[in-house]
Amino acid sequence: MHPLFEHTDIILASRSPRRRQLLEGMGLTFRVVVTETSEEVPPGLSVPLAARQLAEEKARAVPAGLIHDNTLIIAADTLVVVDRLILGKPSGSEEARGMLQLLSGKEHEVVTGVCLREKSRLHSFSVSSRVRFKPLPEEEIEYYIKACQPYDKAGAYGIQEWIGYTGVEHIEGSFFNVMGLPTYRLWEEMKRFVSLKGEPG
């Protein structure tokens, strides 16, 4: 555990194995608490605000009995936007195929909302990255869906998987944000949030 947070009880409110991997890579020790919340995008909000609200709902869903004075909850939600359409997680292979066809040959935006919560206060923020895919041949789309079954990923792809290696032409912004957590920004926000402990929220 990094010494900055060695006395902090960190909860990751996510079932995502990518987010677990990224927190471990940041030198953090944490426990995972999976909560059930709606993943429907709130209507009438900008994409960054919608991502933040979804992350806040996940953080608020952690039971109060699990939260101590030194607890810090991290929750996140990632949205993929192409042609003004918000892509969530595909329900199956047909929907995944349609999403990848939409992303083929285009630039899209990946927005991750993150929420930090303690007992009596919370803070949220969002980070955006832009990704461009090459034109994706149908056989490559089919191979990827069959090999990786990307049904737990917004936009039906994981940039750290085969399709990221072979299909992504360009990234503007944080690679790790596209994976599911903007690690640089998260680190800075965590330091600031914990340093403000005891101040009015």
Phi–psi pair at 62, nearest 5 degrees:
-65, 125
DSSP 63: -
Is 152 a known active-site residue? no
Task: Quote the tokens at residue 90.
Answer: 């595909």
Task: Quote the tokens at residue 55.
Answer: 């992350």
- CA dist 123 and 85 (Å) reads 27
- CA dist 55 and 74 (Å) reads 9
Q: Are 52 and 110 in contact (CB under 8 A)?
A: no
Task: Quote the tokens at residue 183.
Answer: 């690690």
- In this structure, which long-range contacts are made by residues 158-164, counting pairs with CB atoms below 8 Å and at least 24 apart in sequence? 158/18, 159/131, 160/18, 163/100, 163/136
Catalytic residue among 9, 77, 83, 152: 77
The DSSP annotation for 110-154 comes to EEEEEEEE-SS-EEEEEEEEEEEEPP--HHHHHHHHHHH--TTSG
Please give the positions annotated as active site: 77
